[in-house]
Amino acid sequence: MNRQWTADEIERGRLLFAGPASFVMGVASLEQLPAAEKPEIAFAGRSNAGKSSLINALTGRRDLARASRTPGRTRELNFFDVGGRLAVVDMPGYGYAKAARGEVRKWQTLLKNYLRGRAELTRAFVLIDARHGVKESDEEMLGLLDETAVIYQLVLTKIDEVKPAERSAVITATTEIAGKRPAAYPGVLATSSITGDGIAELRAEIAGIAR
């Protein structure tokens, strides 16, 4: 991690996610987008990067966000409400080779239009599997976010599956990649939905946005 959070920031993050959280709807087209009435954040990541698990860990719920058993199955933008103060969007996973080209183009069009037209979208969090680092498909997503001028932050997932001696190198390498991107927010968070590493800090970061 690249910064320290105060005890007050950690507590604000805990309180935000200690309240009610609920699934709102799945959106397959722009016409279905719910009214934007509060700050909004979005989670992006390769298929099986751990988006659903991270959302569940943040909210302290086991199955608020449900992971598909089949990689690349999610086709929608899934909207969640957190305490009536924040909208959380789980974006379709990318980088799954078996997805049909027509489906991929459809997802890309939906994502581009959503990213370009959603004024309330305050930040996107791009999840990077710490075991593998930034892959070509991740670079493509970062390029899309740069193109649409959406501020985003990289979040390493599954850090518990990286040997302790290798964690600093993974964090440093990911931070260097973020530093070369025009729309990337400084600072990389390292998290684990299993051990809880980095969850309090990510909550604190998000609570700052919700304010």
CATH code of domain 7-210: 3.40.50.300
pLDDT at position 181 is 95
DSSP secondary structure letter of residue 184: B
69 — pLDDT class (breaks 50, 70, 90): very low
Q: Which residue bears the tokens 């933008």?
A: 77
Domain ranges of the chain: 7-210
Output the CA–CA distances (angstroms, integers) from residue 209 to 53, 124, 132, 189, in the order listed: 21, 11, 29, 15
182 — pLDDT class (breaks 50, 70, 90): very high
DSSP secondary structure letter of residue 203: H
Average pLDDT rounded to a whole number, residues 34-44: 90
SS3 51: helix
pLDDT digits (tens, 9 = 90+) for 114-167: 888 788 899 999 999 999 999 999 999 999 999 999 999 999 999 999 999 999
Helix 7-18 vs helix 199-210: crossing angle, to nearest 10: 80
pLDDT at position 4 is 85
Average pLDDT rounded to a whole number, residues 58-82: 76
- Decide if pLDDT at 5 tops 70: yes
The Cα 72–Cα 91 span in angstroms is: 11
pLDDT at position 29 is 85
How would DSSP label each residue in 67-129? Answer: --SSTT---SEEEEEETTTEEEEEPPPB--TTS-HHHHHHHHHHHHHHHHH-TTEEEEEEEEE
Edge-to-edge, what's the strand order for the sheet holding 152-157?
A: 21-27, 77-82, 86-90, 40-45, 121-129, 152-157, 189-190
pLDDT at position 106 is 74
- Decide if pLDDT at 99 tops 90: no
